[in-house]
Amino acid sequence: MHRTRIKICGLTRTQDVDAAVASGADAVGFVFYPPSPRNVTIEQAAGLMARVPPFVTIVALFVNADSAWVREALARLPIQLLQFHGDETEADCLQYGRPYIRAARMRAGVDLVEYAAGFPSARGLLLDAFVEGYGGGGKVFDWSLIPPGFDRPLILSGGLSADNVIDAVRRVRPWAVDVSSGVEADKGIKDAEAIARFISGVKDADG
């Protein structure tokens, strides 16, 4: 039986990192995108990432970032996986020589097979709803845009919460799910109970 992996994204506080880990998250995500209310500096991220135990993957999210900044973050932080959420090309993503996942901003007309073919080196495709401002919008996209039998690891995101994640996992059967705003009390402020309910929902859906 497949166990759906779970990433909690947009962490900005130590207690939220602790809550995600305690509830059983497989991965924790940190947003390096200054316009976002979830943005963290390299200094803040160092303190947050230091709390993450072994076997929980540390993911760093960038949006059209200056490559010198990404390199600095990689040099100073224990980042294990990059997430590119902007308009990066495959060459942009590959230049760091690190494993990465590529966000696909889903909306009517997006051909996921064609999009994914442009990123053969991505470890997986993270499907998020198209929103102005790139992401973290808490919007659900039409899951029927995902082609049946799509054969790359899919990380389903976009407006997930404890209220819809069971249905999402049962219908899409993704490799992993990713949530940010759906487990927040306020932008950038996670709710430990909502994280626990989300993770419990994923486990229920897995059966």
Catalytic residues, by residue number, are: 9, 128
> Which of 131, 193, 191 is closest to 158 using CA atoms?
131
- Residue 4: count other Cβ atoms within 10 Å of its Cβ: 20
Instruction: Quote the strand ranges of 33-137, DSSP E.
Output: 57-62, 81-84, 100-106, 124-129
The answer to the question of residue 159 lying near ligand LARABZUK (CB under 6 A) is yes
The answer to the question of residue 201 lying near ligand LARABZUK (CB under 6 A) is no
Distance in Å, CB of 140 to ligand LARABZUK, minimum: 8
Q: Select the residue interacting with ligand LARABZUK from 179, 194, 195, 199 (CB under 6 A).
A: 179
Distance in Å, CB of 37 to ligand LARABZUK, minimum: 6
DSSP state of 186: E
Query: What are the counts of helices (DSSP H) followed by strands (DSSP E) for the chain?
Result: 7, 10
Q: Select the residue interacting with ligand LARABZUK from 122, 124, 181, 194 (CB under 6 A).
A: 181
The answer to the question of residue 11 lying near ligand LARABZUK (CB under 6 A) is no
Cross-strand partners of 6: 177
What residue has token string 């039986």? 1
Binding residues for ligand LARABZUK, per CB under 6 A? Answer: 9-10, 29, 31, 33, 36, 38, 61, 63, 85, 126, 128, 134-138, 157-160, 178-182
